[in-house]
Amino acid sequence: MSSGLVVHHFGSQGGPRREVDEYVLAVFEAMRGGLTGGAGLNCSIPVPERER
């Protein structure tokens, strides 16, 4: 399953939803990297502005 497909499935119309989509995409990519021997969970995951 591609990360783009996951984000497309849940959709985004901008605003806060876009921030959530970008965060989920980064987490998904990190998890997939960990499973495939890539960067894994050691990569930098951006935190939405509200969480800082």
- 8 A C-beta contact, residue 24 and residue 45: no
pLDDT of 50 > 50? The answer is yes
Average pLDDT over residues 25-42: 70
Which pTM does this prediction carry? 0.43
> Which two three-digit tokens encode residue 48?
């939405």
Where are the domains positioned within the chain?
A: 3-42
Instruction: Report the interhelical angle of 3-10 vs 16-36 (nearest 10°).
Output: 150
Predicted confidence band of residue 48 (pLDDT cuts 50, 70, 90) = low
Spatial CB neighbours of 33, under 8 Å, sequence gap ≥ 6: 39, 40, 41, 43
Residue 6 Cα distances to 14, 37, 44, 49, angstroms:
16, 21, 20, 22
